[in-house]
Each structure stands twice: as structure tokens, then as C-alpha cells.
């Protein structure tokens, strides 16, 4: 009975993976996925990272990315945060420039800029987001006047126990993507470090 349950579970997982991979490649063929490089301007156009906001006229440029030790970053930045055992081991800092070329000053929701590895979503560190970007004034979204731009730091937490030991040893070279939009077209930036 246990062997049958294991076989059924494995078959179910294989089927799920087969379907999701086919959907991914279908999206590529249909043009609903676009990949950009670090340094390129990514237009929101009619796509968005928030279903309720018109961001046509906004752009994002990823200026760089680095991985650093969490405690060292707090120390170097003089940030005071109540630390506990759930703090990440490392941070991925993604440096972006948000540009409003000619859009109404609608807010861009920064938490909707998702970071992912090859097969792992990586969560934003809310405390550091607000500390590293005083322009946010305690908000997680930013609206810019037309014709302006703003440099920001997006911090994402990495936990050692979320990765295989071989991946963690080479975490500085781990392939990362920043998802800018998710509807209608998924637009991602391949991060260079």
C-alpha cells in the first residue's frame, strides 16, 4: 500500500512538472514572456505588476545586484532592527531605477517586483526595504511625477536552509531573475552580479 502511494505521488508530481514546463514553453512561443538584461529599460506598457494600476509610461532599469551577509549589511548601514533567529543569512540587493517618462503619477507596488532563482522564489525583506529607501516614507509603493526617476534598493532575504548545500556554497553565482510584470506579458530581468 505504501509503495502504491509513493508511485501515485511520484506520477502526480511528474505530471504537474510536465504540464508546468509545457505551459512555460507555450508562453515563450506566444510572446507572453520577455527576458531583459541588467541595464536595459523594461517598459510596463499595458502589462503591470498590479492589476489596478495603469503603469503605461513607467520603466524600470536594473542597475546592478549583489549578495551580502545580512548582519554585515545591517552593521555597515547602521540600521537598527530587532533581530531574531528567523532573520535571513544573506541578502540579495537589487539596485533599480524607476522611471516615469510620461505616465500619470500612479503608484508602483515594489513588493510585486518578485525575485526568483531557477526554481526558488525569494522573499523581499520589508524592514530593510523601508530603511534603505527613505523616499518611501514607510510605504511599499512609490508614485513618481511624469519626467522623473528614482533610484531604489530592493532587498531580498536568503536562508541557508532553503537551498541545497552545493547551491549555497555558490550562492553568489546563483542565477536570479527579477519579475517586473506578470500580466498580460511576463517580463523578467536576468540579474548580473
pLDDT of residue 184: 87
Q: How much is the pTM?
A: 0.82
- List the beta strands (DSSP E) in 82-164: 90-100, 107-109, 114-116, 121-122, 141-143, 148-158
pLDDT of residue 24: 55
pLDDT of residue 65: 97
Q: How far apart are CA 84 and CA 64, in angstroms?
A: 29
Q: How far apart are CA 105 and CA 116, in angstroms?
A: 28
What is the number of alpha carbons within 13 Å of residue 124 lying toward its C-beta?
20
pLDDT of residue 46: 86
Number of H helices, E strands in the chain: 4, 11
Provide, for the chain, the percentages of residues in helix, strand and coil under a 3-state DSSP scheme, each rounded to the nearest 5: 30, 35, 35
pLDDT of residue 118: 87
pLDDT of residue 79: 92
- The pLDDT averaged over each successive group of 10 residues in the chain (193 residues) is 75 66 55 93 85 83 97 94 89 98 92 92 95 96 96 97 94 96 93 87
The DSSP symbol for 124 reads: B
* Bridge pairing between strands 107-109 and 114-116: unpaired
Amino acid at each position: 500500500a505504501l509503495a502504491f502511494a509513493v508511485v501515485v505521488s511520484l506520477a502526480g508530481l511528474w505530471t504537474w512538472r510536465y504540464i508546468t514546463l509545457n505551459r512555460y514553453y507555450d508562453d515563450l512561443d506566444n510572446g507572453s514572456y520577455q527576458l531583459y538584461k541588467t541595464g536595459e529599460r523594461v517598459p510596463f506598457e499595458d502589462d503591470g505588476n498590479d492589476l489596478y494600476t495603469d503603469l503605461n509610461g513607467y520603466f524600470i532599469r536594473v542597475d546592478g545586484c549583489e549578495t551580502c551577509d545580512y548582519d554585515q549589511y545591517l552593521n555597515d548601514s547602521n540600521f537598527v532592527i530587532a533581530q531574531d533567529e528567523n532573520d535571513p543569512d544573506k541578502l540579495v540587493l537589487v539596485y533599480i531605477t524607476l522611471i516615469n517618462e510620461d505616465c500619470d503619477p500612479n503608484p508602483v507596488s515594489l513588493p510585486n517586483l518578485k525575485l526568483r532563482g531557477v526554481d526558488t522564489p525569494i522573499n523581499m525583506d520589508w524592514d530593510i526595504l523601508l530603511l534603505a529607501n527613505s523616499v518611501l516614507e514607510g510605504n511599499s509603493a512609490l508614485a513618481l511625477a511624469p519626467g522623473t526617476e528614482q533610484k531604489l534598493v530592493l532587498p531580498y532575504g536568503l536562508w541557508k536552509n532553503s537551498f541545497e548545500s552545493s547551491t549555497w556554497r555558490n550562492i553568489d553565482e546563483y542565477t536570479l531573475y527579477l519579475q517586473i510584470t506578470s500580466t498580460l506579458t511576463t517580463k523578467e530581468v536576468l540579474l548580473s552580479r
